[in-house]
């Protein structure tokens, strides 16, 4: 098993370019199924999750060419299979988003129940509710979700929770449906907007993405296009917290600053210096940050994917911080890893009370999920000594060139077997 060895180096300085968004790229890759013409995608991050999803697409008969770093050419003209098995689907939850496009274009699909990070229950009932509303027959048997429809017909769909995955899957199912579909209480995340922009480039008629009401007027056919994936706001936030935690001075490039408002506001509240210039953010800080309270919420609230990184910062903040997780019920597993490093954390249900300590200590820890792994790197870079992080395959799922990017800022980090 590969591990990261991290040695605290104090202040980190330099510049780093944010990669394309994993959470935007994955559904857009799925959406290429909707079109039988060539599609060119730029700024696709080089990640294990992308690799897995490309294997899923190839298994369906989609031609996927990795032309250059971050550049993919995809052609789904010849779909030869509409069933995705357990082996690939169990590795990544986002692979379930092939269901909407397959149902929309081919009229039938079978997908094994999805997997991914063990951060809590992420039910597929909202996806199924949407498919049924569009006229599909859906059944679950022996771990497979099967759906079919002679014709999908637009309808009004209200989501009980603004699920990003369900919003995206229903959008993709509706673009070739007959008539108009309205999704109410839709997710408003930037990744939903990026998918909408991509679909519209292919000739779809999607309006309202980025608001709680999305309207989709079905079209007969979609065409090829070229699209650049938006920057990864979670990666940008991770490096912002890194600068605050290590007392560093980091310039973060390729950022859509409007996507970063919750993170920027909270770090400023902690006393961190932040300046914006176009698509660049400069973050600097010296000494300990002030304690803070955060509560994760759907966009435009604080992202749940930033909760672990903020908890890493809270462990060394001056005073007591409160972290409330409202999105996933099992997303405090990193707390035990921080405790191994000397953190003072008490968990009560979905609330974590973090009493900041002056310094953490080096320890042997493991990445329990993707964002936990990034948070542990941040924590490890603030302490003297050598911290060993295990299960780093989680980190590779969501951060492109992670070792190289941290090293470019002065971090002492290496990958070992």
Q: Which residues are catalytic?
A: 117
| CA of residue 84 relative to chain centroid, distance | 22
The alpha carbons of the chain give a radius of gyration, in whole angstroms, of: 21
Residue where the block lists tokens 């597929």: 124
**Could you check whether the bond before residue 300 is cis, i.e. omega within 30 degrees of 0?**
yes
68 marked ligand binding residue: no
CA 259, 317, 394, 163 dihedral sign is negative
295 marked ligand binding residue: no
125 marked ligand binding residue: yes
Q: 297: which residues sit within 8 A by CB, 6+ positions away?
A: 326, 327
Q: What is the DSSP letter of 34?
A: G
- Residue 389's DSSP bridge partners are 4, 365
27 marked ligand binding residue: no
- Give the C-alpha separation, 31 to 169, whole Å: 9
93 marked ligand binding residue: yes
- Give the C-alpha separation, 60 to 80, whole Å: 6
- Give the C-alpha separation, 198 to 42, whole Å: 12
Half-sphere exposure of residue 292, counting CA atoms within 13 Å on the CB side? Answer: 25
250 marked ligand binding residue: no
Among 235, 232, 233, residue whose Cα is nearest residue 377: 235
401 marked ligand binding residue: no
22 marked ligand binding residue: yes
Q: Which residues are annotated as a binding site?
A: 22-23, 93, 122-126, 305, 327
Q: Which residues are annotated as a binding site for UDP-N-acetyl-alpha-D-glucosamine?
A: 93, 122-126, 305, 327
Q: Which residues are annotated as a binding site for phosphoenolpyruvate?
A: 22-23
């Amino acid at each position: 098993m590969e591990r990261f060895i991290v040695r605290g180096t104090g202040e980190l300085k330099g510049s780093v370019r944010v990669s394309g968004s994993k959470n935007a790229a994955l559904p857009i890759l799925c959406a290429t199924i909707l079109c039988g013409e060539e599609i060119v995608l730029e700024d696709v991050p080089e990640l294990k999750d992308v690799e897995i999803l490309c294997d899923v697409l190839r298994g369906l008969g989609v031609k996927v060419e990795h032309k250059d770093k971050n550049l993919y050419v995809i052609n789904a003209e010849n779909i030869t299979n509409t069933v995705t098995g357990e082996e690939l689907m169990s590795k990544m939850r986002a692979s379930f988003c092939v269901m909407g496009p397959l149902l929309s274009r081919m009229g039938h699909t079978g997908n094994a129940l999805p997997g991914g990070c063990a951060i809590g229950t992420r039910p597929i009932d909202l996806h199924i509710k949407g498919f049924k509303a569009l006229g599909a027959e859906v059944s679950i048997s022996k771990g497979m979700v099967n759906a079919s429809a002679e014709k999908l017909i637009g309808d009004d769909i209200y989501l009980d929770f603004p699920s990003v995955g369900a919003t995206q899957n229903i959008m993709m199912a509706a673009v070739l449906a007959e008539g108009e579909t309205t999704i109410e209480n839709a997710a408003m995340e930037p990744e939903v907007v990026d998918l909408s922009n991509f679909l519209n480039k292919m000739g779809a008629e999607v309006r309202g993405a980025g608001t709680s009401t999305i309207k989709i007027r079905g079209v007969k056919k979609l065409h090829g296009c070229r699209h650049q994936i938006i920057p990864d706001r979670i990666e940008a936030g991770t490096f912002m917290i890194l600068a605050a935690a290590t007392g560093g001075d980091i310039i973060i490039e390729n950022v859509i600053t409007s996507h970063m408002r919750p993170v920027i506001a909270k770090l400023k509240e902690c006393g961190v210096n932040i300046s914006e210039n176009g698509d660049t953010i400069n973050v600097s800080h010296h000494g300990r940050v002030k304690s803070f309270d955060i509560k994760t919420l759907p966009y435009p609230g604080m992202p749940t994917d930033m909760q672990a990184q903020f908890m890493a910062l809270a462990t060394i903040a001056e005073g007591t911080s409160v972290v409330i997780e409202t999105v996933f019920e099992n997303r405090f597993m990193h707390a035990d890893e921080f405790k191994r490093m000397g953190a003072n954390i008490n968990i009560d249900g979905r609330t974590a009370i973090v009493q900041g300590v002056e310094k953490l200590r080096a320890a042997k820890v493991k990445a329990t999920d993707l964002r936990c792994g990034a948070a542990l790197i941040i924590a490890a870079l603030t302490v003297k000594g050598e911290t060993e992080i295990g299960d780093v395959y989680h980190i590779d799922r969501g951060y492109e060139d992670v070792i190289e990017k941290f090293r470019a800022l002065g971090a002492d980090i290496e990958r070992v077997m």
